[in-house]
Amino acid sequence: MLKYTELVMDHFRNPRNLGKIEDADAQATEGSIACGDMMTVYLKIKDNRIADIKFESYGCAANIATASMMTEVVKGLPIDEAKQISWKEIVERLGGLPQIKYHCSNLAVDTLRKAIKAYEDSTPRGVTNESIS
């Protein structure tokens, strides 16, 4: 049986930022071949910062907990800083994960980076969503 920290179980039972942003500036969906988990990350960007972030997940406790922690860590960060978050940082902030579940933290970070790339690809250089309105 896998042992999870109390913090992992708290994020699993009470996930932060769970849901969908209907008018998201970007979103991405990724899956893990290792276990079949799926995750979608939605971003709302303002002044080159992650103003809001939500996720939907089809997966295990570690998948949900790592996505929840990832959203808490990057919410409010400048995009460039959010891109630097590592799966190891997410695992450390959760107080650890069984090694066999590290791929869950990779999935959370990879999906975040894919959503940021989707935003950057859809936004002309030097233009923010505020200057378009």
Q: Of 94, 114, 115, which Cα lies nearest the Cα of 104?
A: 94
pLDDT tens figures, 88-102? 999 999 999 999 999
Over residues 9-18, mean pLDDT = 97
pLDDT tens figures, 58-68? 989 999 999 99
In the chain, pLDDT over 70 holds for what percent of residues?
A: 92
CB 37 within 8 A of CB 59: yes
pLDDT given for residue 35 in this prediction = 79
If one compares 7 and 132, the residue with the highest pLDDT of the two is: 7
